[in-house]
Amino acid sequence: MSEYVVDVGQRHIREVNEEIQEACKRGDKIRVVNTLSRHNLGVGLPPGADLYFEGSVGYYCGGLNTGARVEVERNAGWAVGEGMSDGHITIGGYAGMSCGAAMMGGTIHVKGDAGPRCGVAMKAGNIVVEGKIGYQSGFMAHSGRIIALGGAGESCADALWAAEVWVAGDVDSYGVDVQIKEPTAEEVAEVDEILAPLGLVDSSRNWRKMVSGERLWYFESRDASAWLMI
Q: Which domains does the chain have, with CATH numbers?
A: 3-226 (2.160.20.60)
E runs forming strands in the chain:
3-7, 29-33, 50-53, 66-72, 86-91, 104-110, 124-129, 145-148, 164-168, 178-181, 207-212
Average pLDDT of the residues in 49-63: 98
User: First vs last Cα of the chain: how many Å apart?
Assistant: 55
112-161 residue pLDDT tens? 999 999 999 999 999 999 999 999 999 999 999 999 999 999 999 999 99
160-217 residue pLDDT tens? 999 999 999 999 999 999 999 999 999 999 999 999 999 999 999 999 999 999 988 8
Cα separation, 220 vs 188, whole angstroms: 35
Q: Among 80-89, 100-109, 210-219, which is the least confidently predicted range?
A: 210-219
